[in-house]
Amino acid sequence: MKLKWIVLICVCLSLVLAPLKVDAKPSVSARNAVLMEQETGRVLYEKQAHEKRNIASITKIMTAIIAIESGMMDDTVETSKRAVYTEGSSIYLEEGEEMKLEDLVYGLMLRSGNDAAMAIAEHVGGSMEGFVHLMNQKAEWIGMNHSHFANPHGLDADGHYSTAYDMALLTRYAMENDVYKKIAGTTTYKSETRTYAWGNKNKLLTRLYDYSTGGKTGYTKTAGRTLVSTAEKDGMNLIMVTLNGPDDWNDHIHSFNWGFKTFEMRDLREEGEQSLDSTTGYLWNTVKAPLTEEEYKQVTTKTQIQKPSDYESFNSILGQAIFEVDGEVVATAPVMADPMRATQTKSFTQSVFSLFKEIIGAK
């Protein structure tokens, strides 16, 4: 009889504690990690996310986005001796071989070719050193304040480092580019100059995780296993970065599952009127943020009037709406002077951006 009571108590305890275990924050093997929601940039989970570390081949995300934005994707690149003899992973380029820059970027991202990285750098930047300068300029522009690049491939080198958080910022930026998004999410690709197809080394994308949309693997002895991956479910896009993670596949799967279960993209304010002190402004779009059910009940809103710059005066930006939960900013949105101007400005901005892409693509 006593044994039956013990069994019953254990069963009851397991039922009570099971949900707590599912909802608990992820426990990852990695030394450094961050889970970020893509639309807002909100950090949902972090572990020593701002520690500077060697990052190995996830460096190639920066190399890829610079190559894509260069407007040279249709260029034919001649492989140099320096590129061919770059150590580490390779797509087996030969000296003097010609390959389209687009194909090199696929070889860079899917097969992690260090030779491809060097060939890209020399063509786009004029030299490896010139390309590295572009990498550091881009990092500064994105806000990667604890990063510095010394090469385009990620082999260990003095002055080559980043953080889990900075790499999430980079990935968030890159995923706004449709070409990058397509390449990072490609499982196989055949170059015009190859008789066989390249398979993507990212196992989350190819077979381990149904919601995976892309990413980049990396490894050196010093850096350990590094991994950046992205996933989408129910309208929410997540970015996961781990550095020195011996069990990185599972780190990412468990973190994504936790994120998708715990948070939901919730509407904070519909597009339309927004009070701004003594005047009324307007929001371009519905403001959303990843929130738990409990957080959603605690959201507070405040507005902030900005001293207009010349650009903001032209666009009639009055200020911004700030959405917080317990003091943490979870979303911000610009407040426009009037709905007609907001619509015109939005259309004008989109038109200029489209024209710019056409001009760049035509080079």
CA–CA distance, 173 with 161 (Å, rounded to integer) = 18
Q: Of 336, 276, 327, 280, which is closest to residue 300 (Cα–Cα)?
A: 327
Q: Of 4, 12, 87, 33, which is closest to residue 224 (Cα–Cα)?
A: 33
* Per-residue exposure over 277-303, b if at least 16 CB sit within 10 Å of its own CB, e if not: eeeebbbbeebbbbbbeebbeebeeee
The H-assigned helical ranges of the chain are 2-23, 60-69, 81-84, 101-111, 114-125, 128-142, 164-174, 178-184, 203, 248-262, 293-297, 310-315, 339-361
Q: Of 99, 118, 229, which is closest to residue 172 (Cα–Cα)?
A: 229
Is 216 labelled a binding residue? yes
CA–CA distance, 213 with 314 (Å, rounded to integer) = 38
Instruction: Just list the catalytic residues.
Output: 57, 60, 112
- Continuous segment of H or E residues that includes residue 323: strand 317-325
Binding-site residues sit at: 216
User: Which amino acids are annotated as binding site for substrate, given as ranges?
Assistant: 216
